[in-house]
Structure 1
């Protein structure tokens, strides 16, 4: 199968080509003569594009209507899906670039990368064959794979389609191969990326198990220098899936929950501390707050008083 090759230094031509290949978009460049090289191969509902941009290209894209994956070889991509935080992808990253129903914006910074797209219906079709799958439609809820090994497997799948299947005209023309390759791609995506099934609560549970693991880990390790990656590892989901679960069920982020847990510990310590033996600054630092003014602001917002007032408040009389 001969690929379609696009090679241009005209930003208008590039915008027109990309709008036809993906979805209506607006782009911009940081140089006067930006070179864009694209090799596009299509097999049934699956398309595989190899792209090389010798400039920084800004983009604002309408929903694609398809599942879109990205594997970065060089350079970097600052990317933001509507309603989510910005993420930056670099060499070795294989990610969900965009779900079918959301627009996205960002900047591709002198990068070589692959874009693989396929119909969302194929995802539903393959999901329906998996044991234990819920009746509701499957949704991808995170951009990054759930583990490093899952990411490597997904990257190998994309490379197999690009380098082995699509480069063999006879193979790529066989209907059975086309169907099987598409199902392999969809199955790899469902295995590698977090879905709504991963953060769903079991019957009778108020919160997903991953969220319960995460909050328990935070509560038990708030005194240690933990971050998002450590929390996600303890919860056994990807950082992006964990952020989604916290926003959906608790209305905050994992690091926001960690901050509140540390504030609660600092509050308890200030209530019990001897004002003659410690200071607010010392207690704040023990719980990871190294800027006294910022700590005081957060403390007042959480407890309605200054931390010094808590430290110097008269001890409550003992009962009995």
Structure 2
């Protein structure tokens, strides 16, 4: 379940108090109250906070997170960002897992941030890599390239909107959102995950592992499982399972999970479920009704609305 918060304030003490709730090391200095305005949006899901705020004021700020990984973009035309090794580009996001980063702007800025618990992020990175001894470390504050930074920003916009639209019953969507945020971040920046080989050694025959994965998907597609959970059930790393699926089935675990969830939604529709199509779609992990309809039509040759109409008329 996502905890969502949205408000506007002109009390400059509210800024630091709210921001420190998410990043305890955050501090603001020299805030000019004459032009002050603060607009806050956030969504919290387990192990991840997604934050966007706009702040009109001259501000000096700094973060030095403990037990967190913070990824941030400060969008301003009259400021600067100072990282542990010098000035950072204003048109790119940055990341820190402890080293101090400071920002200054004179009038207006919009700040976007993902905040991960370090232990949770490391556990998921170990699941992805198959290396139970992986120590997740950030080796540089800047993204690997401008295109990597731009991809992170597009993903942030998408995941913020998705998180704000989450309903309490959207457990499948929540699990996927958290994984998407971390994977995009770890691939956009220079982290120790990138040292892991592109495919992990397989200690068991791939067909048996694939069968275990298929059985797990069929039995649990209605639950908030991710590709990492499927790999764990098959006793493989996520990368190793990706390779095994490609070799044995010419598909991916994610594609198979998506297909089984489509089939689950189809069963409900054909059984005469009276819930709206959008509600059924969300229950099976599809946040956008239009995308669900397109995937359904591609898989089954007709739209879910037509399917429901055929059932009603039978």
| Map of 2:80 onto structure 1 | 78
Q: Does the Cα contact within 8 Å between 2:34 and 2:57 map onto a contact in 1?
A: no
Tell me: CA distance 1:185–1:77, structure 2 relative to 1, closer, same or farther (3 Å). Answer: farther
| Map of 2:186 onto structure 1 | 190
Q: TM-score, normalised by structure 1?
A: 0.52
Looking at structure 1, the residues matched to 113 and 188 of structure 2 have their Cα atoms a distance apart, in angstroms, of 17
| Map of 1:106 onto structure 2 | 103
Q: Does 1:141 align with 2:139?
A: yes
| Map of 1:156 onto structure 2 | 154
| Map of 1:58 onto structure 2 | 60
Deviation for aligned residue 1:115: 1.6
| Map of 1:94 onto structure 2 | 93
Superposed CA RMSD in Å reads 2.9
Q: Does 1:10 align with 2:11?
A: yes
Tell me: CA distance 1:105–1:74, structure 2 relative to 1, closer, same or farther (3 Å). Answer: closer
Looking at structure 1, the residues matched to 93 and 14 of structure 2 have their Cα atoms a distance apart, in angstroms, of 28
Structure 1: any 5+ residue segments left out of the alignment? 201-320
| Structure of larger gyration radius | 1
Residues 117-266 of structure 1 correspond to what in structure 2 (within 5 A)?
117-131=115-129, 135-163=133-161, 165-170=162-167, 173-196=169-192
Looking at structure 1, the residues matched to 187 and 48 of structure 2 have their Cα atoms a distance apart, in angstroms, of 18
Looking at structure 1, the residues matched to 139 and 13 of structure 2 have their Cα atoms a distance apart, in angstroms, of 34
Secondary structure of residue in 2 paired with 1:194: strand
- Structure number with higher helix proportion: 2
Looking at structure 2, the residues matched to 173 and 194 of structure 1 have their Cα atoms a distance apart, in angstroms, of 35
Q: Does the Cα contact within 8 Å between 2:62 and 2:102 map onto a contact in 1?
A: yes
Structure 2: any 5+ residue segments left out of the alignment? 197-314
Looking at structure 1, the residues matched to 66 and 10 of structure 2 have their Cα atoms a distance apart, in angstroms, of 25
Q: Does the Cα contact within 8 Å between 2:73 and 2:112 map onto a contact in 1?
A: yes
Tell me: CA distance 1:173–1:141, structure 2 relative to 1, closer, same or farther (3 Å). Answer: farther
Looking at structure 1, the residues matched to 59 and 73 of structure 2 have their Cα atoms a distance apart, in angstroms, of 17
Structure possessing the higher relative contact order (Cα contacts under 8 Å, 6 or more residues apart):
2
Deviation for aligned residue 1:194: 0.6
Deviation for aligned residue 1:196: 3.6
Q: Does the Cα contact within 8 Å between 1:8 and 1:36 map onto a contact in 2?
A: yes
Looking at structure 1, the residues matched to 195 and 78 of structure 2 have their Cα atoms a distance apart, in angstroms, of 29
Residues 96-153 of structure 1: CA deviation (Å, up to 9, x unaligned): 2x32x33332214411231221222233123223458693402111122212332233
Tell me: CA distance 1:2–1:185, structure 2 relative to 1, closer, same or farther (3 Å). Answer: closer
Deviation for aligned residue 1:28: 2.1
Looking at structure 1, the residues matched to 169 and 111 of structure 2 have their Cα atoms a distance apart, in angstroms, of 25
Q: Does the Cα contact within 8 Å between 2:79 and 2:105 map onto a contact in 1?
A: yes
Residues 169-211 of structure 1: CA deviation (Å, up to 9, x unaligned): 32x64233222221121111121101246589xxxxxxxxxxx
Secondary structure of residue in 2 paired with 1:191: helix
Tell me: CA distance 1:141–1:168, structure 2 relative to 1, closer, same or farther (3 Å). Answer: same
Residues 33-44 of structure 1 correspond to what in structure 2 (within 5 A)?
33-44=35-46
Deviation for aligned residue 1:61: 3.4
Deviation for aligned residue 1:2: 7.5
Residues 10-29 of structure 1 correspond to what in structure 2 (within 5 A)?
10-24=11-25, 25-29=27-31
Q: Does the Cα contact within 8 Å between 1:41 and 1:47 map onto a contact in 2?
A: yes
Tell me: CA distance 1:44–1:8, structure 2 relative to 1, closer, same or farther (3 Å). Answer: same
Deviation for aligned residue 1:167: 2.9
Looking at structure 1, the residues matched to 48 and 193 of structure 2 have their Cα atoms a distance apart, in angstroms, of 24
